[in-house]
Structure 1
Amino acid sequence: MSNYNNHNQRSFFFNVDWVMVFLYLALCTIGWFNIHAAVYDEKHPSIIDISTVYGKQFIYIMVGIVVGMIILLLESRFLAALAPAFYAITTLLLLVVLVIGKNVGGNQAWINMGGGFRLQPSEFAKFSTCLLLARYLSSVNVKVTELKSFAIVAAIILVPMLLIKLQPDDGSTLVFFSLIFVLYREGLSPYFLVTIATTIILFITSQLYNEYYIAGIIIAITTLIAYLNKRNRQTIFKALVAGIVCIGFVLVAKPIYNHGLKQHQRARIDVVLGITSDTRGVGYNQNQSKIAIGSGRLWGKGYLKGTQTKYAFVPEQSTDFIFCTVGEEWGFAGSVVVLGLYLFLLLRIIFIAERQRAPFTRIYGYGVASIIFFHVIINIAMAIGVMPVIGIPLPLISYGGSSLISFTILIFVLIKLDSNRMGII
């Protein structure tokens, strides 16, 4: 029996993807040091001073490591079996936060835990949604291309989205749209992705140019497609329907934009699109962030030497705009290192997902990759001014206990499931 246990322990050790563990620790460490730089207080110079933000982040990292180790000791089947329970708990917490939640920055998204610590249920809802989605899609006779299965999948994703929207936390709401990549991997038609991309392009261009000019271009493209396929009536019909739908959307896009979005949301989008310039108002954060990143040049100003950072020109610099600290103090070179680590992490997650025998782990892996990808792209795009500010953290780097612990759970559950990859869940 002793030899059997020793064999299992050795197998567990070698099956754990230590590359993923290393990437996790590297990003957490980078985040910790950059949070220290972003809100450095000369009266509290120690990076582990728990009376400071960076000291609290150290505690969150330690808690995250403990949580990760506990997950690795769990039984893989236990995680899959309790997916509905995890989903039910986070859904309940999303309902509770609407009643007793603390309002911070206009969002009622936090539950006070005492001692200055707060819980943000929306962060953990990402994990539970990924887990339940994997559980359902890996079930026998479930095909995302069938209407019934697609409706259930949509319900799984939409329930937390709608509850988070009520907070209202637009950034966290939009994160759930990234799960479309999971559905695409599991057989959803690529036309869904094309439709989404086309809708975004038409929406943006309709704000920049006269809608009748855009409609004219669509008519010209539709006519050209019809002419090139004049012997294929089915293709001509599809082109005409698509053209009519696109023109209809363009004609209503501006009214939807003007009346469907709040004034501050329109203002942020207008600044990004270059329709207006407001460097002292709604565009202040992004303008200061771009100045900070640009001032870092190639090698950066050095640790704790960033002037934009030191004099607190950028609001929310330890959370939403943490990347500008990386850019200012570590320069282009440091930014490339951070982006390289994220790219390596995403590629590793996809590699892990594709080597699975169990559909459950593969689907869950793609969910993790989709959420991390969305967070990284949108957060950095906000920092460099090519996306409107919607307030989502940079995974494992931004300050915040709920964010760090939720990403820890997302990643370590995948590591645990992968360690049992020769089994079938």
Structure 2
Amino acid sequence: MPTDAITLNPTDSHHSLTIAPPNGGFCLRGKIQIPGDKSISHRALMLGALASGETIIHGLLLGEDPRSTAHCFRAMGAKISELNTDRVTVQGIGLGQLQEPTDVLDSGNSGTTMRLMLGLLASHPGRFFTVTGDASLRSRPMLRVIKPLQEMGAQIWHRSGGYAPLAVQGQALKPIHYQSPIASAQVKSCILLAGLLTEGKTTVTEPALSRDHSERMLRAFGAEITVDPETCSATVTGSAQLHGQTVIVPGDISSAAFWMVAAAIVPGSDLTIENVGVNPTRTGILEVLQQMEADVTLENEREVAGEPVADVHVRHSQLKACTIAGDVIPRLIDEIPILAVAATCAEGTTVIKDAAELRVKESDRIAVMAAQLIQMGATVTELPDGLEITGKTPLHGAELDSHTDHRIAMSLAIAALIANGQTVIHRAEAAGISYPDFVPTLVRVSG
């Protein structure tokens, strides 16, 4: 591969990523180790901070979002080692012992940090907290967690419309049974974390199952928690005692998704993505790719620290269009941008519905993916709650923008691998939010 086929061009404020397929195109081969699961990394840091004793975390994602979580919990008294190796230690301060910080808690770009942390802050009586984030996070809705917390008795002040910065006066909360209007692991986890410090049983019922990392990890740390898959409900009993654990974080299936799609759509490709978390509440991406007739197989299936793990082997194949909607959406919501890229290579029309949640992520992912793929020549119709994409459509190089959204940046990079001509992706440094080594890995497997 020519040395200039994939280049990252830093500037004073932003980086642009240039991808120019060589004669004969790219061909992706080899084995990939992906970063630790972002959702599990956040929860391991938080529960480690709340537990008594030491928690040791192996394989933590060393991205910007977990750094935001670590920074916030250090400010409230937990001792967390620097996030510069794959072994992180947390000296917990005990449930209910978070200290009132001397400054504003900054969640950076991390919606998980802010939403989950709110449940804990609201349930610490007598302490006052102020929480903010970057410009993107301050434009993302928080009422979805504020309202159920207020039903529990929380005192939370916010900007008009429910936006950060937020001020929280900790209270002794009351347990509730919350019927969530959306299937959201962040909403569910926020309420369950508030329930840890609330006398009695706190229950969340969802319209469909969302990812269950919080339930698994709460149980591992010693909380009393029950799950009813038939009613999509989870219940936590308050006043639990949490104890430090050793946590092994599997590879993030959301990061693996980029390589799954890349290998499926780039001719001649054959990739194995190792140590991927295949929790059933997260495997919608696998089900949809199989529905699209992608050549995807799971190998070396095993369980690591309570989470199912496997190696994912993907080879290039001819994809077929499908409909992505309904109960599968909560299990692949973060993978829809890269599935939109897959859809441009699939025979027929792929319809993505019931995914309005994408409009309030780091960017409006529906509008942004539609606009960027259209720039590359794709046939895309934007729907209120999704996308309609007709393939197989040849893509061409274009000048694109990530809108500082990590999943958009990486999805566009994969699309550029099959485009005719040069593609430039502005603000490509956004990939570092969840995948700091994305570009070096892309260069290595494209060689």
Task: Give the TM-score category using the shorter length.
Answer: under 0.3
TM-score after normalising by structure 1: 0.25
Choose between structure 1 and 2 for higher RCO, CA contacts under 8 A separated by at least 6 residues. 1
More strand by share: 2
TM-score after normalising by structure 2: 0.24
More helix by share: 1
Structure showing greater radius of gyration is: 1
